[in-house]
Amino acid sequence: MAKDTRVTYVLVDGENIDATLGTSILGRRPRPEERPRWERVLRHVQDRWNQPTQGLFFLAANNELPMTFVQALLAIGFRPIPLSGSAGEKVVDIAIQRTMEALRDREGDVVLVSNDGDFVDQAEDLLDGRRVGLAGFVEFRNNAFIELQGQGLEFFDLEYDIRAFNEPLPRVRIIPIEDFDPLEFL
């Protein structure tokens, strides 16, 4: 990648997406084949914004490095960032907040993959002329992000826009009438 090529930083809050998928959508721990295909996220953002991506995947390691998952992330182009901290410390949130704050002083666009409202202030600070996106599950997105849409924040649904899953998820969502296909329900 040339030094002057603009890049999109894709920051993944793996804990938040996994918890939303398991607790709110599936009602149980997701099986590996039910988790997002993370390479599709990078590809979607790269194609959508027509520039290279740099994926950073934040995960709480708690003194246990999930090597198989880390190797898989590396193979698809993500840089895993395993973190640890004291009990009760939200290490992933802290690291993503610090990263978003550091990005204010760098060129580049940002896509945050999370539904968590803990990043609203940092996302708003990045809406300074650069492209900023939020990817997650629209029905579980923190409502504070909606106010930022008028300032240019773009939304991407992991399932419907990015198509990050191999199988349809059991989600209940509001369907725009132009997208309604009765065959999906028959």
Q: Quick one: DSSP state of residue 105? A: T
Give the model's pLDDT for residue 2.
Answer: 52
Residues 6+ apart with CB under 8 A from 169: 21, 25, 26, 34, 159
Q: Mean pLDDT, to the nearest integer, of 8-18?
A: 96
**With a threshold of 0.75, does the pTM exceed it?**
yes
Residues 6+ apart with CB under 8 A from 40: 162, 163, 164
- Total domains present in the chain: 1
Q: Mean pLDDT, to the nearest integer, of 161-179?
A: 89
Give the model's pLDDT for residue 4.
Answer: 63
Please report which residue ranges of 33-90 form alpha helices under DSSP H. Answer: 38-49, 67-76
The 3-state DSSP class for residue 79 equals strand
pLDDT per residue over 35-79, tens digit each? 999 999 999 999 999 999 999 999 998 878 889 999 999 999 999
What is the residue range of 180's domain?
8-184
- Is 166 within the bounds of a domain? yes
Give the model's pLDDT for residue 32.
Answer: 85
Q: Mean pLDDT, to the nearest integer, of 67-95?
A: 94
Range list of β-strands (E), the chain: 8-13, 53-60, 78-83, 109-113, 132-136, 154-157
- Is 80 within the bounds of a domain? yes
Q: Mean pLDDT, to the nearest integer, of 127-154?
A: 95
- Is 161 within the bounds of a domain? yes
The 3-state DSSP class for residue 70 equals helix
Q: Does residue 82 or residue 175 have the better pLDDT?
A: 82
Give the DSSP H or E segment for 100.
helix 91-103
- Is 96 within the bounds of a domain? yes
- Is 2 within the bounds of a domain? no
Give the model's pLDDT for residue 1.
Answer: 52
- Is 117 within the bounds of a domain? yes
Looking up residue 34, the CATH number of its domain turns out to be 3.40.50.1010
Give the integer Cα–Cα distance in Å for 11 and 21: 18
Give the model's pLDDT for residue 62.
Answer: 80
